[in-house]
Amino acid sequence: MGRAFRYVIIGGGVAAGYAALEFTKKGVSHGELCIISDESVAPYERPALSKGFLNPEAPARLPGFHTCVGANEERLTPNWYKEHGIELIMETRVESADVRRKTLLTTTGETITYKFLIIATGSRAVKLEEIGITGSDAENVCYLHDLDDATKLVNMMRKCTGGNAIVVGGGYIGMECAASLVINKINVSMVFPGSYCMGRLFTPKISRYYEDFYKSKGVNFIKGTALSSFVFNSEGKVTGVNLKDGRHLPADMVVVGIGARPNTTLFTGQLTFEKGGIKVNNRLQSSNPSVYAVGDVASFPVKFSGDIRRVEHVDAARRTARHAVSAIMDPKNTSEFDYLPFFYSRVFSLSWRFYGDNVGEVVHFGDFGGTKFGVYWVNNGCLVGCFLEGGGDDDYVAVAKAVRLKPVVVDMDELRRTGVGFAVEV
């Protein structure tokens, strides 16, 4: 059994959805494009799973957050793919790929050939077993990567109202899930090995602000230690956690967010890798000219910083996907990919955005006791990054523009004093 398509996307997540829209904008013909996804639903905005999807009231549900609503574009329902003659092969994994022969083999035994391949297989959650702890399969241990995980988490939260949740990890998943657990009236303890939450992006001062805010909502922070094992009841349910520092905490449910790994193993030994991802050029093209990589799996050149990076954030997935399609379908009119790193989060009533790089000297600004404050990073005398909590749309536009221009900073005190005003004036 076999089929041939001009264009094939492996993976049906954020990047696949944005790539599909771009293909139609560039005039793809019916029957030319196919998306192979092991998920059971058409591409959706994954960030919704740790935000609106977990709301106790009026939660976000599909089809409401199919791509590409996250970028205020059309919502691509399954019917949209049909109408545009795009083949969605769902609940099907690609289990092997041969880039020399341009052939994919799926779990249903089908062989699919392509002229151009876009790898958009995203990443997977790191499992506790990978750090030596057993118990991931327990009914009350939750991860959060796909719709099935999110549905399990919602069901567990409903069962645990008034009970105790342990959140393992102080990164994006930990912070966003802890907030949702609190909103769902569950007592939360967060456990992570570092000294501060979001330690790879936040400064200690920013972390302290968020930790204090979370504490005011009842969250208990247990830092500088890690999970060592679970305590199970006779039915295999987790009833408590043991920590490396000897402490024991009761648990009705556990949420784990200890990082992600890119899904690249199909291409090991076939494509060039860098920084854990598939190395691509500034057209998102891999070491094999017929193969492009986008989203979480792509290690692409970032002109802004002059290095190669793999970025596990939605804005990069959307932009790399669109750019790759443009490079394939309209090479003459496609310039070099020029990306400004952009991350964001929303928790409780808080909302922040970050642009650029968090390297160099740190200048905090604004009112840390109030609602609008942030940090500039100044490297080699130039502004290279900005984190802003509580900004308005105009502030974020100004900050993004300023960071991209990397203006020289003459007076750090002035930067501190003027805050967002500095970016507005650039």
Residue nearest to ligand NDP (CB): 171
Q: Does 174 bind ligand FAD (CB under 6 A)?
A: no
Which of 24, 37, 180, 326 is in the footprint of ligand FAD by CB under 6 A? 37
> Two tokens at 304?
């802004």
11 binds, among ligand NDP, ligand FAD, none (CB under 5 to 8 A by kind): ligand FAD
324 binds, among ligand NDP, ligand FAD, none (CB under 5 to 8 A by kind): none
> Alpha carbon 381 to chain centroid distance?
31
- Name the minimum Å distance from CB 418 to ligand FAD: 28
DSSP three-state, residue 212: helix
- Which of these segments, 75-83, 134-142, 306-314, 403-411, binds ligand FAD (CB under 6 A)? 306-314
Q: Does 345 bind ligand NDP (CB under 6 A)?
A: yes
245: Cβ contacts below 8 Å, ≥ 6 apart: 224, 225
Q: Does 132 bind ligand NDP (CB under 6 A)?
A: no
Which of 17, 135, 174, 262 is in the footprint of ligand NDP by CB under 6 A? 174
Q: Does 314 bind ligand FAD (CB under 6 A)?
A: yes
Gap between the Cα atoms of 314 and 51, Å rounded: 14
- Name the minimum Å distance from CB 409 to ligand FAD: 27
Q: Can you tell me which residue has the tokens 């490396």?
A: 244
Q: Can you tell me which residue has the tokens 């499992």?
A: 127
Gap between the Cα atoms of 406 and 364, Å rounded: 17
Contact 197, 219 (CB under 8 A): no
Q: Does 280 bind ligand FAD (CB under 6 A)?
A: no
- Name the minimum Å distance from CB 7 to ligand NDP: 26
403 binds, among ligand FAD, ligand NDP, none (CB under 5 to 8 A by kind): none
- Name the minimum Å distance from CB 397 to ligand FAD: 18
Site for ligand FAD in 255-274 (CB under 6 A): 263, 266
How many chain residues bind ligand NDP (CB under 6 A)? 26
Exposed, middle or buried by CB within 10 Å (0-12, 13-18, 19+), for 415?
A: buried
Q: Does 52 bind ligand NDP (CB under 6 A)?
A: no
Site for ligand NDP in 188-217 (CB under 6 A): 192-194, 199-200
258 binds, among ligand FAD, ligand NDP, none (CB under 5 to 8 A by kind): ligand NDP
310 binds, among ligand FAD, ligand NDP, none (CB under 5 to 8 A by kind): none
| Closest CB to ligand NDP among residues 231, 329 | 231
Backbone angles phi, psi at 243, to 5 degrees: -105, 160
- Name the minimum Å distance from CB 372 to ligand FAD: 20
* Structure letter (DSSP) for residue 66: B
Contact 9, 118 (CB under 8 A): yes
What Å distances lie between residue 412 and 362, 370, 405, 421, CA to CA? 9, 22, 17, 13
> Two tokens at 183?
């909103």
Q: Does 343 bind ligand FAD (CB under 6 A)?
A: yes
> Two tokens at 390?
């509580």
Say how many residues make up the chain: 426
Angle, vertex CA 116, rays to CA 111 and CA 117, nearest 5: 65
Exposed, middle or buried by CB within 10 Å (0-12, 13-18, 19+), for 12?
A: buried
How many alpha carbons lie under 13 Å from residue 26 in its C-beta half-sphere? Answer: 23
Amino acid identity of 395?
D
Gap between the Cα atoms of 199 and 259, Å rounded: 13
Q: Does 70 bind ligand NDP (CB under 6 A)?
A: no
Q: Does 315 bind ligand FAD (CB under 6 A)?
A: yes
- Which of these segments, 5-13, 173-181, 203-211, 327-335, binds ligand NDP (CB under 6 A)? 173-181
- Name the minimum Å distance from CB 257 to ligand NDP: 3
Q: What is the tally of helices (H) and strands (E) in the chain? A: 9, 28
Task: Return residues touching ligand FAD (CB under 6 A).
Answer: 10-16, 36-39, 46-47, 49-50, 93-94, 120-123, 144-145, 263, 266, 295-296, 312-315, 317, 343-345
Task: Return residues touching ligand NDP (CB under 6 A).
Answer: 50, 123, 131, 168-174, 176, 192-194, 199-200, 226-227, 257-260, 312-313, 343, 345
